[in-house]
Every structure is written in C-alpha cells, then in structure tokens.
Structure 1
Amino acid sequence: MRLLNRSAGRLSRHRRGPLAGVVLLLLGLVLTGTMYAAFAPAQAGSAESDAEQIAKGRELFLVGCAYCHGQNGEGIQTVREDTQFGPPLVGVGAAAVDFQVGTGRMPMVQPGQQAEDKPRVYDDEEIEALSAYVASLGPGPAIPEPDDYSIADLTEEEQEDAIVRGGQIFLTNCTACHNFNGSGGAMPNGGYAPALHETDPKYIYEAMLTGPQQMPNFSNGNLAPDEKRDVINYLLSLREQPEYGGFALGGLGPVSEGLFAWLVGIGSLVGFAVWIAAHTTRSTKKKGTAA
C-alpha cells in the first residue's frame, strides 16, 4: 500500500509539473497535424478540379459562345449598337447556362427573336464545365438540386396542400402566357410561351429562377423556393389528370374550342343543309320530267 501511494504521489507531482503542459501541447500539435494531413489533400484536389473544370468550360465557351457573347462574357452589340447578338453573361449564374444549353436553346444557329427548344449540342460534363466557367464570371443563381423541387419527403396531406398552393400561384402569375393548362401560347413580337407538359422539373425551376427571354424573373426574393417547388408539382399533377371531356384540343382553352365548333360543328351542319338542298332539287327535276 505504501508503495502504491508513493507511485501515485509521484505521478500526481509530474502531472502538476511544468513539463505536463509541454507534453499536452505537443500532443495537440501532433493531433492537429494528423487531421490536416488527412483532410487537406482532398480540399486541394477539389480546388484543382474546380480550376480545371473552369478552364475546360472557357475553352468550350471560346469555341461555341464567344461569337455572340464575347470572349469574356461581356456581350456583343450590333453595328448600330441598338441591339445585341448576345447579352452579357456576367452574373447570370450556372442555372442560366444549365437551362439554355441543357434544353438545346443555346448555342443558336443564328440570332433570332426566340431560341428554339431543340436537341442539345453538349453532353452533361461539357454543360457542367460551361456552367462553372460562366459562374466564375460573377455571382448568380446556382443549379438547383432535386430536393429543391421535389415534395417526396412531405406527407400525403402536405403534398396535396403544396399542389393546391402551386396551382394558385400558377393561375395568378403564369396563365397569361402559358395557358391555364401549361400548354403555352403566342407572345408579342413573334415570340411564344412554350408548353410545359414534357419539360423537366429542373428546367422549370431554372426558368423561374433566371427569367429566360421574354419570361419574367421570379428570383427567390419574388417567389420563395418553396413556392417554385409548389408550382412545379402543380404542373406535374396536370400530366396525370385524365381528360374527362374527351378531346382536349391541346388544352388551349376557348380559342381552339371555338374554332373546332365553327369548323367541325357548324361546318358539318352547313354541309348537311347543302346536301339536303341539292338532293331536294334533283328530286323535283325528276318528278317534273315524268309529268
């Protein structure tokens, strides 16, 4: 017992001694260095990867985009300087590039009133590189994640409420251009609002976020991210609804329905009336000849 007490006393004195602080400091430095060595290479590699991706995006940009948008994304004006071949891209963000290039609207064959939705030219990796380069020109909206426009993590009741809210927002802000059914419609100066029946939810979110072409910009300050999500899921719900009335006629509303009524409905009646009149005339001539 005495021996144990003496050993414990010596250890206690060493812990209280000046060397104890030095030992603890060294242990802390070793632990910090080990953790840095474990995590720092991954961070450095990530930064290097980002730089490589931006460099690759710049190469693609100079080949396919600089003719209209300038070598540094500053935009290029026409000779008269009242219109632009391509607008400046500083500050538009990665979301604008992902939308325009991902839907095939860019690059355009030639400048025009509106970029057409067509098969895209670049693959996913090239689009990511272009988006990274344009994002490096100035701060702007980032590409949304699937969780930003999905309601899968909500309860069934919450999903129904989200769709109802989205319908109210869409009917208030979007039907003037896209039609109440999301079927699109004509716009001034030769433009048009595209149909949304087959558009990927990510691109709908990016369109609201960036406001391409004649579309208003519904930034997060104007329309909260949850509200954008609700609008998207309202549009998705329309795709699952059956057409109870039979012929949907494109879901374009009273214009197409009225045209169908005039051409098919009244046109059929007029044609039938003409047939009756012609048949009656032939019958009268035959009777007169017999007499």
Structure 2
Amino acid sequence: MAKSKKLKKTGRRHPLATLALLGIGLIITGGAYAGINQVSATAEVDMTSASTIEEGRKLFAANCGTCHGMNAEGTPNDGPSLIGVGAASVHFQVGTGRMPLAFQGPQGMVKPKQFTEEQTLQMAAYIASLAPGPEIPDSRFLQADGDAARGSELFRINCAMCHNVAAAGGALTQGKFAPSLMGVDAAHIYEAMATGPQNMPVFSDANLTAEDKADIISYLKYIENETSVGGFKLGSLGPVAEGLFIWVIGLGGLVALTVWVTSKSN
C-alpha cells in the first residue's frame, strides 16, 4: 500500500500542466510588455530639447520628406509646406493615422498609427522649431469637465452643419466628408479646431477661445457616453435616415407579413 502511494506521488506530470505553465508565462510576458509600452507612450517629451528636435528631424526626413520636402518646404505636386503649421497639426495628422497618406484622394483617411506617441511628439517638435504655429493643447482643456450645455450651443452654431448635431458626421462635396467625432481623442478634437485640417475651417482663439473649445469637447464626450433615451440611434444621421428606415424596413415588414398571412389562409 505504501509503495503504491509513493508511485502515485512521484508519477508523471499531467500532460496539460506544460500547456498551463506556458500560458501563464505568455500572460505575464504580455502584461509586462504592455506595461512597458504604456510607460513609453505616455512619457513626458521635452518639445524644446535639441535632442528631441533632432530625432524629429530624422524621423521627418525618413518618412515625410519625399512629399513635404526635406526641409518641410513642400513640393509642387505631392505635399504642401509645413512651415508654420505648428506642433498641433503634426500631432493631429500623424496621431490619427492620416499621415503618412496611404493613397492620394479627396482627403486623408483615418488608419492605424504608424508612429508611437513619443515619435509623433518628436516630429511635432521639429516642425514647431521651424516657425511659430498652433501648439499642442494644455491638458486642462481636455478633461471634459467644462460646460456641456454651452458646448452644445457652440457646436450647433459652428460645427453641426458639417458634422451633424449629434456629431455623427456627414457628406460634403467631391467625395469629401466630415468624419464622426464619436470616440475621437479630446486632444485631436481640440487640434482639429485649432488647425483646420483638410476641409475644416480654422477656429483660432479669436473665434473660439480655449475655454470654448473645452466646452465643445465636454459636450461631445457627454453625448458619446450618454445612452440614447429614444432607443436605437440608427446612426444618428437625422430624420431623413430615420424616415427612410421606417418606410423601407417598417412598411416592407408589414407588406411581407400581409403576404405571409394571406398565403397561409389560401
């Protein structure tokens, strides 16, 4: 009896034990890697440091100089001059993945970012060193704790004609469009207002103060996180889309139900 117990105790390990240990190791490694990346992504970058500007110059020359010129002076057919666009413009365009362009078209499309936050800030610092321009907004204007009601009024007056009153976006001319603002980072919303990318007008501090922009961001984040009291939003594209849905889906369903009922009676 003692011998059999000893055999059981010193027997072979369960075949799934190796897989379990491997899985635990991968989880720990992945967690540590994600933590390291998060630290580097949120690391403070000195935008005025000579080393930061130099790193940004190298990144720009390797990835942007072909279209925008090696000194950001622009080229005749491919890319405009970036002298004077400011750090905010670079942070918006590169941080949203619009730049570098995937292809030439009516406007740059949002896509996965090609650069880390640190690299984006380095290029922004380089462009900012060439000439004055809109700066990356202070974090106190990005907290979404402003006056959402006032922000709603400002948004309806200045932005809703293109982006829709519910910020769902809308079509423009010649294949262009105003994108949805749902899920957009607060810094990028502020930077878009300050720099006027693509078809958007520039809202300088003379048009909308930093506090005005902060209130608009508060409104957008409010409607983004607030549940719809009217039920399914249908994309928040307005009464035309909702009416079309009722006519096509609602009446179509009634017609299909009528045909089915009459066919069963026959």
Which TM-score tier does this pair reach, normalised by the shorter chain? Answer: 0.7 to 0.9
Q: Distance in 2 between matches of 1:175 and 1:151?
A: 19
Shift of 1:240: 2.6
- How do residues 73-88 of structure 1 correspond to structure 2 at under 5 angstroms? 73-78=72-77, 85-88=78-81
CA contact (8 A) 2:98 2:111 kept: yes
1:214 partner letter: N
Question: Whose relative contact order is higher, 1 or 2, with alpha carbons under 8 Å and at least 6 apart?
Answer: 2
- Give 2:65's aligned residue: 66
Q: Distance in 1 between matches of 2:262 and 2:171?
A: 41
CA contact (8 A) 2:144 2:217 kept: no
Q: Which is greater in Rg?
A: 1
Q: Distance in 1 between matches of 2:57 and 2:103?
A: 21
1:102 partner letter: G
Give aligned pairs, total. 221
Q: Distance in 2 between matches of 1:203 and 1:106?
A: 14
Shift of 1:279: 4.6
Shift of 1:166: 0.6
Q: Distance in 2 between matches of 1:243 and 1:131?
A: 38
Q: Distance in 2 between matches of 1:125 and 1:241?
A: 32
- Give 2:120's aligned residue: 127
- Give 2:10's aligned residue: none
Which residues of structure 2 form unaligned runs of 5+? 1-45
Deviations 1:220-272 (A, max 9, x none): 11111111111000111112322122111111111221121112111112223
Q: TM-score, normalised by structure 2?
A: 0.78
When residues 254 and 151 of structure 1 are mapped into structure 2, their CA distance, relative to the original with a 3 A threshold, is closer
* 1:219 is the counterpart of 2:204: yes
- Give 1:255's aligned residue: 240
Shift of 1:149: 2.9
* 1:168 is the counterpart of 2:153: yes
Kindly report the root-mean-square deviation, in angstroms, between the aligned alpha carbons of the 2 structures. 1.8
- Give 2:253's aligned residue: 268
Q: Distance in 2 between matches of 1:225 and 1:103?
A: 21
Q: Distance in 2 between matches of 1:257 and 1:204?
A: 27
- Give 1:56's aligned residue: 55
Query: Sequence identity, in percent?
Result: 46
